[in-house]
Amino acid sequence: MMKKWSPDFDRCRICGTTERKHMAKGMCNSCYQKQWKKENPESIKQWRKENKEKIKQYNKQHGKQYYEKNKEIINKKNKLYNEKNKELVAQRKKQWALNNSDHLKLYRKRYYQENKDKIDRQVKQYRSENRELVRQREKASGKKYRDKNKEKSRERKRRWEKDNPEKARAYGMRRRAKKRNAEGNHTGKDRKFLMDLADNKCQCCGGSDRLAIDHIIPLSKNGSNGIFNLQVLCLFCNSSKGNHRNTDYRSLEFLQAVYSYRAEDWVRMHKISPELPIGATI
């Protein structure tokens, strides 16, 4: 004859198990405890109050395991709660983040390192889908940061300008051009190209002292900021240029080289045939 689970029952009368230990009233240990808890909420509350530290320790040890086991139910419950208490939850989150900023930083860093590829991919996609929004946000946060760290950002800017002189000058000119609503633009790379093409010599006097990129028709006279309005001049020739009418010192070969340089870009950017109609504005 099979051994009975308890004197009066073959199995737990609630859940039917024969595995767990028998407790009173034909219930297994687990069912009995559940029932007792249901019937004695006040005692539970009291016990929790008195054993906060113990509970904390227990959760630390078993919380993750418990969560993994009951994921779906927990997530559902949390979601419901969060929806019902939106403001409170947001407030708590904010407070928590403030109280745990160091911890959060570390956690984010680790999370990023563990999921680098995925995150980079997501960020890239988001940025390409929300270009204008991202640009505005970055502008705002960049300004905020610079206002907060004036000396630091000034130093960084100085360093960057030193390392990227032509790029920096291109930015400067772009700013000035924008102020005047000038047509066209050029990059630091374009400036380097022009300097090299001019053999790092002034196109007026052939000197190589204090060279700069010059607008042939000045921005102040509605000249373009594009590459076809640029030449290389030394400071002396530049300042003696004044308001003379004919101040284009570029040779025909120089101009042709600029055209074909820009045409290559044009072809690459637009993936079109390299034949360029004569006189086309690029």
Which of 33, 164 has the CB closer to Zn ion?
A: 33
Q: Tell me if 237 sits within 8 A of 204, measured CB to CB.
A: yes
Residue 202 CA to residue 212 CA, distance in Å, equals 8
Q: Tell me if 228 sits within 8 A of 250, measured CB to CB.
A: no
The alpha carbon torsion through 173, 177, 183, 184 (nearest 10 deg) reads 20
Which of 14, 257 has the CB closer to Zn ion?
A: 14
CB of 152 to Zn ion, least distance (A): 39
CB of 214 to Zn ion, least distance (A): 10
Which of 15, 140 has the CB closer to Zn ion?
A: 15
* 17 to 7, 21, 100: CA distances (angstroms): 15, 9, 45
CB of 26 to Zn ion, least distance (A): 9
CB of 165 to Zn ion, least distance (A): 19
Q: Which amino acid is at 238?
A: N
Which of 29, 153 has the CB closer to Zn ion?
A: 29
CB of 99 to Zn ion, least distance (A): 42
Q: Tell me if 202 sits within 8 A of 247, measured CB to CB.
A: no
* Run of H or E residues at 81: helix 71-84
Which of 202, 230 has the CB closer to Zn ion?
A: 202
Which of 61, 240 has the CB closer to Zn ion?
A: 240
CB of 55 to Zn ion, least distance (A): 24
Which of 31, 170 has the CB closer to Zn ion?
A: 31
Sign, CA dihedral 78-107-55-28, equals positive
Residue 90 CA to residue 96 CA, distance in Å, equals 10
CB of 239 to Zn ion, least distance (A): 10
Which of 198, 219 has the CB closer to Zn ion?
A: 198
CB of 231 to Zn ion, least distance (A): 11
Question: What are phi and psi for residue 247, nearest 5 degrees?
Answer: -120, 25
Footprint of Zn ion (CB under 5 A): 12, 14-15, 28, 31, 202, 204-205, 207, 234, 237
Q: Tell me if 259 sits within 8 A of 194, measured CB to CB.
A: no
The alpha carbon torsion through 116, 122, 123, 126 (nearest 10 deg) reads 180
Nearest to 229 by CA among 244, 243, 249: 249
Residue 14 CA to residue 26 CA, distance in Å, equals 8
Residue 177 CA to residue 187 CA, distance in Å, equals 13
